Amino acid sequence: MFGKKKSLYLRLLKYARPYKGRIGAALVCMVMASAFTVIAPWILKNIVDDVLISKNLFMLNLLALGLVLLYLLKNVAYYGQQYLMNWVGQRVVMDLRLELYDHMQRMSLRYIYGARVGELVSRITNDVVKLQEMVTTAVIDLVVQSLSFVGMLCFLIYLNWKLTAITFVILPIAAWVLDKASKKLRAVGHDIQSQLAALSSIAYEALSSIRIVRSFATEDEEYERFKNSNQAHFKALMRGTQVNAALSGIIEVILIGALSLILWFGGRIVVAGEMTPGELIAFLGYLALLVQPIRTFSRVVAKIQQGMASAERIFEVIDTKNEITPPKKPIVLSSVAGKVDYKGVCFAYQNEQWILKDIDISVYPGEKVAIVGPTGAGKSTLVDMIPRFYDPQKGGVFIDGVNVRNLELKSLRRQIGMVPQDPLLLKGSISYNIAYGFPGATLKSIKKAAEMAGIREFIESLPDGYDTEVGERGVTLSGGQRQRLAIARAIIRDPRILILDEATSSLDAVVEQEIQAALRKASEGRTSFVIAHRLATVKEADRILVLDKGTIVEEGTHDSLIKRGGLYARLCELQFGDGNGE
């Protein structure tokens, strides 16, 4: 366990290394602030012994002025330490958050879909905030209070070693309490963050699926789910509060008991003439100030334990190996002819539970291939291997004879235009969404793509035209309009390979025919993959692949497959009531 914590500390220090100059300046400020704090009780000793007893007014003026100057300098140093360490802490957290977000974006779809999105978002937000609190306030308190603690102990020993010895008897008890509580605090901190992540995830899921929630009238059920999770988070917070409060209270009782004991012994020593009244007051002042570092340590321990629990959760994601690894010597695609080959492809989401088995396909440039089959046959998974959303466990996918594993991902994906089954749009204007991923797009090319997708007339009828905001996830547009914008987004890049995953599923029959005509023109000279449940959309394909239980069971044109009377003919009969697909 210690080795694991040590490695986490060292790993966090790596992120702070670029800012060592500011950290050094902050440490100087911390030393100064601690030194000025330690000197204050010594001035009180001189006021009692050299002013009140000796009745020295000059010394009174001097010490009073010195006390004001001392606290002025202390607060200047305090400002410096706070600003510099918070700057470093925020930069470290910003760097870590960027790395975490970048890593999440590059993870395989299997990992993203296998996790709860709200849980992943919580790692970027809540966990990083807890880590930031540890890096800034906890580190400052730890350094400053540690220096003050050591300085005060030195003065205590100098003033009277006998009284200090009593203090040293009490300190191990407080240290033992801290050690026992730290283990509990770590577990409580991890539980708090986990419950908060679950709460965020439930809220995210419900709000992102608000249409489904309302259509099924499940607001009350979602409220109960959120309420239960909120209650669990509340209980976790209260457990943390209990542990924190108990820890602070126990330490304070121990220290007050020690203070009373020291006051009793100190009074006897002063009466015996072994100590001046000023020295006893200074000793008690240092002892009173000593309470603050120890109480701060209990708070710092809580923050560090929560921060380390968050660090574990953050690095757990960062350390998750990306299944889609870039090649060591990537081949950059400047252009492609568009030939796609599947050679002995096998794929499984879980070990040996094959979604695709021994797929061998050759698709030639300019060929339009339709992939049909029952739900769950593996159609989308099959085409998702072309842009390397997934890699097969066996076999390989080749473009123009080159394994996609050897290609640079960006250049590979620039050659592919995709219209997904769920055409999500991003918050922004219509022109931004059409030109997404193609920053060099001109308004002319945006309009051309919109025209090919059959949506230009609609866009230009809007008051703001191409500058119209579509709303988050495109909620201000109809399903058909979102689908056509997604088609325009795929067309504008002039890709050599088109992947249309139910690209016309949200369109009515008239608009669908218009889009099909536009897509026929757009796909000329390009390799096209069309996935469809509505078999009327695939009749004109050059070739139809029928996928069932992970294997290609039929292959041919619409007419030849109908004559064969196999699975494709049965699917047509189920959809259209006859065996001709009419």
Domain ranges of the chain: 8-318, 419-494
52: pLDDT confidence band, cut at 50, 70 and 90?
A: low
Cα angle vertex 18, ends 310, 89, to 5°? Answer: 40
* 190-249 tens-digit pLDDT: 778 788 888 888 887 778 777 777 766 778 888 888 888 888 889 888 887 887 777 667
> Tokens 């396909």 sit at which residue?
361
Residue 475, φ and ψ in degrees, nearest 5: -70, -15
Distance, in Å, from the CA atom of 371 to the CA atom of 405, rounded to the nearest integer, reads 23
* 92-115 tens-digit pLDDT: 888 888 888 888 888 777 777 666
CATH code, residues 8-318: 1.20.1560.10
pLDDT at 134 over 70: yes
* 421-461 tens-digit pLDDT: 777 788 888 898 888 878 778 899 999 888 888 788 888 88
User: CATH number for the 419-494 domain, one of 3.30.565.10, 3.30.110.40, 3.40.50.460, 3.40.50.300?
Assistant: 3.40.50.300
6: pLDDT confidence band, cut at 50, 70 and 90?
A: low
Residue 551, φ and ψ in degrees, nearest 5: -130, 155
Please report the pLDDT score of residue 477 as a whole number.
Answer: 78
| DSSP output for 312-331 | HHHHHHHTSPPSSPPPSSPB
> In this structure, are strands 394-399 and 368-372 parallel, antiparallel, or unpaired?
unpaired
Please report the pLDDT score of residue 254 as a whole number.
Answer: 66
Give the full edge-to-edge strand order of the sheet including 340-348: 354-363, 340-348, 394-399, 402-403
Distance, in Å, from the CA atom of 465 to the CA atom of 481, rounded to the nearest integer, reads 14
Q: Is 450 exposed, middle or buried (0-12, 13-18, 19+ CB in 10 A)?
A: buried
Please report the pLDDT score of residue 518 as a whole number.
Answer: 64
| pTM metric for this prediction | 0.65
Which carries the bigger pLDDT value, residue 80 or residue 129? 80
Three-class secondary structure assignment of 132-155 = HHHHHHHHHHHHHHHHHHHHHHHH
Q: Encode 500-530: b = buried (16+ Cβ within 10 Å), e = exposed.
A: bbbbbbbbeeebbeebbebbeebbeebbbbb
> In this structure, are strands 543-548 and 527-531 parallel, antiparallel, or unpaired?
unpaired
Please report the pLDDT score of residue 171 as a whole number.
Answer: 63
The residue type of 76 is V
Quote the distance between the C-alpha of residue 383 and its chain's center. Answer: 28
> How confident is the model over 134-154, as a mean pLDDT?
80
Select from 352, 437, 366, 361 the least CA-distant residue to 398: 361
* 490-522 tens-digit pLDDT: 888 888 899 988 766 656 666 667 667 666 766
* 294-345 tens-digit pLDDT: 777 777 877 888 888 888 888 888 888 887 888 888 899 888 888 999 999 9
Select from 178, 195, 296, 316 the least CA-distant residue to 247: 178
Please report the pLDDT score of residue 248 as a whole number.
Answer: 67
Retrieve residue 146's tokens.
Answer: 């540690």
Q: Where are the beta strands (DSSP E) in 420-558?
A: 497-501, 527-531, 543-548, 551-556
Please report the pLDDT score of residue 371 as a whole number.
Answer: 92
Select from 446, 437, 383 the least CA-distant residue to 410: 437
397: pLDDT confidence band, cut at 50, 70 and 90?
A: very high
> How confident is the model over 87-95, as a mean pLDDT?
86
174: pLDDT confidence band, cut at 50, 70 and 90?
A: low
